Structures are given as structure tokens and as C-alpha cells.
Amino acid sequence: MSAYLAVSGVNKSFGGLQALHDTNFEIAKGKITCLVGPNGAGKTTIFNVITGFLPPDTGGVTFQGRSLDGLTRQQIVHQGIARTFQNLRLFIDLTALDNVLAAIPGQAGETPWGAIFRPFHTAAVQSRLRAQARQILDHVGLADRANDYVRNLSYGEQKLLSVARVLATGAQLLLLDEPASGMSAGALDNIMALMRRLQTEGKTLLVVEHNTRVVQRIADEVLFLHQGHLMAQGTAEEITSDPELAKIYFGGAI
């Protein structure tokens, strides 16, 4: 079986710092894969390489058997891969609904001439997309916050909104950068339930996560990254029961 997403032989250096060192892994379709490792292990760099935000020095990424080499960030989203950011990067002066709408691809009226010369067509399409965006917000549990500005949302709600925004792109592979960090216990349950729900709908998730309890509860597969190198791959139990990895993760000397 060919892998859904394959990262092969990726090296990436920033000056003298080698962030990714011959990184290889594959993830399977329809699974939740968690990417763990201590700070500076290269988790976010992996995200940046997969989504075209950073070109790898060597090596490459294939998605559904197709190489992503040389594709722009935009083209990679259109292939079906979308990401969130650790610091969310929401549009804080827009409403929750507009944040979601902004990510829906290929809208009428997204060019000045479309907007100016086909106003009725644009408005008709917008009202349809608005309904779609409301549905997405409803899906993540933010239906009642649709018309609120992002700056008035709680941190937990903002995290859910960042997930809503990647859903709006229509991508099938979702890269979530620490979706559960800094959340209260209740909000944590919410986001974990959401990730499970997305999985049952056929999405594939690659999740950077620090909270081992979250990892144990959601991960089908865990990738352990250390100093830009894939140290281990296995189930959550296998990874968390390995004393060597625990030592690295919790700051043992190595």
C-alpha cells in the first residue's frame, strides 16, 4: 500500500542549525497521527516543509503518490493539505464567520472585476457560501459566535475557529499545530471530540501535540521526533512506555 503522505529524506538547516536531519516517515489515510518530541525537535519545521512554507534543502514530500516538490503554498492547499498555526493567526478584525468564509476556495467575486461587474452573481454565491460557513462553525461548536469578532472570543473558541478555517479550505489532510495547548479541561474534551469526529468523516489528521494525555487518547500512531530526526514510530502505548524516549521528552540528558 502506498502511503497517503510520505516525507522522505528531508534535510533542513537554518544557518548552522540543522532543524531536520534526514527525516523519513509516512502517515496513513484516515488516521490521527501525533507528532511529538521536545521543543526544537523540528515539529513545526516539518509542517512548514509539507505545506510549502519552507523548501527542504534535500528530500521531498509526496501526497497520494504525487510529489509536492516545487508547488506553491497555494497549490498545496488545492492538493488537499491545510494547516493551522501554533499562534493561530486568525483575522482578529473580522468576525468568526468571515474568518471561515475567507478560507473557502474559488469564490465568485474574489477579483475586482467579478465583484464590480457581476454583483448579483457574487451576492447569490455569497449567500450560499455563508450557509456553508455557518455549517462549518456549527460543526466545531461555534454556531452562536458566528457574528462575533475574533478578539471577543475566548482562547478555546479561537482554537476551534482555527480548525474551522482549515475545514473551510476543503482539505482532506489537516495539519494541526498544538490544537490543545493552553486549553481548559472542558475545552480540551471539546477539541478531542472534534478531532475524532473529523476522523470519522474521513479526514486525516497530523497533529503536533505536547500533552501526553491528549496523545494517548486520540493518536492512532505516534511519531517521535528528536533533534530533527525521527526516533520512533508506534502506538501511543509503545512510545510512552519506552523509558529512553521518556527521558528525552522530559529533559533527561542525552
Residues that bind another protein (CB under 8 A): 51, 53, 73-74, 76-78, 82-83, 85, 89-94, 98, 101-103, 105, 107-112, 114-116, 119, 122, 126, 165, 168-169
Q: How far is the CB of 179 from another protein (least distance, A)?
A: 15
Q: How far is the CB of 247 from another protein (least distance, A)?
A: 35
CA distance 67 to 1: 17
Q: How far is the CB of 77 from another protein (least distance, A)?
A: 3
Q: How far is the CB of 46 from another protein (least distance, A)?
A: 15
CA distance 92 to 180: 20
The answer to whether the CB of 207 falls within 8 A of the CB of 176 is yes
Q: Which is nearer to another protein, 94 or 146 (CB)?
A: 94
Q: How far is the CB of 218 from another protein (least distance, A)?
A: 23
CA distance 118 to 107: 12
Q: Which is nearer to another protein, 41 or 166 (CB)?
A: 166
**Under the phi-then-psi rule, with left for phi > 0, alpha for psi from -120 to 50, and beta for the rest, what region is 37?**
left
Q: Which is nearer to another protein, 36 or 76 (CB)?
A: 76
Q: Which is nearer to another protein, 206 or 248 (CB)?
A: 206
Q: Which is nearer to another protein, 66 or 247 (CB)?
A: 66
Q: Which is nearer to another protein, 28 or 116 (CB)?
A: 116
Q: How far is the CB of 123 from another protein (least distance, A)?
A: 8
CA 152, 153, 154, 156: dihedral to nearest 10 degrees?
-160
